Structure 1
């Protein structure tokens, strides 16, 4: 596990234009780019490049944990951010104006079974993404490291 700090490094935003715009709106709106949806910024370390990578994602809460859905819009491959945090679970989250370190782990099968209805209630499109792929879409729990 790599545990270098990101304090002096600059993260590279997603090259996807929609996600890059989402990050910009997140910053302009103090973390509220989409009314009625909870969003955060996730910074991971690139598993091949070693560089910090930032993306914007919807989340739900489960106690102290932030729950992310590695749906990749129903594609047959995991999103890059998921592969990055699987290689190095030490991440940085920005929720609203607060930025803090967190540790990521994949939800257990029991946790995923309990959390999928919560995730779909918050973002109904996730149900369609599950139908669009044969891949098991992981749910990720991020817990503050401090």
Structure 2
């Protein structure tokens, strides 16, 4: 599914249909923590106070998505939003800041509150800061 979303995103200037149709989508290219290979993940992003944030929700699964592990190992990433691409540093937000901003994420997308309720782990928030 990711490959189709990535192809559609790139072919349509950052617009996609289906599951992600009404969401803000970022293509995040990370370096695989084990493989060292580039990995592209289409993710929902949130723009809050001029910051680009992504949440490692994995739909509330007990384990974080692979891209979270990749970011923790190598925080330098490539970001694609719309037709723009740039290098960024993924900064995991400290718990207090994460908690304050996660409430705002839930206000924008209530399903993220449901994801947090489904798991015991704290769903991390990362800022994608342009470098």
Q: What's the TM-score, normalizing by structure 1?
A: 0.81
Q: Does 1:32 align with 2:24?
A: no
My pick for the range that moved more, 61-70 or 131-140, is 61-70
Counterpart of 2:70 in structure 1 is 84
Counterpart of 1:71 in structure 2 is 57
SS of residue paired to 1:56: strand
Partner Cα distance (1:118, 1:26) in 2: 26
Counterpart of 1:58 in structure 2 is 44
Counterpart of 1:95 in structure 2 is 81
Partner Cα distance (1:46, 1:64) in 2: 28
Listed as ranges, the gaps of 5+ residues in structure 2 are none
Partner Cα distance (2:54, 2:113) in 1: 14
Counterpart of 1:3 in structure 2 is none
1:27: how far off? 1.7
1:111: how far off? 1.5
User: Which digits, 9 at most, give the CA deviation of each residue in 1:11-60, with x for residues without a partner?
Assistant: xxxxxx2x222222212321122444211100000011110000100111
Counterpart of 2:126 in structure 1 is 140
Partner Cα distance (2:48, 2:109) in 1: 15
**Root-mean-square deviation over aligned CA pairs:** 1.4
* Contact residue 43 and residue 55 of structure 1 kept, 8 A: yes
Counterpart of 2:6 in structure 1 is 23
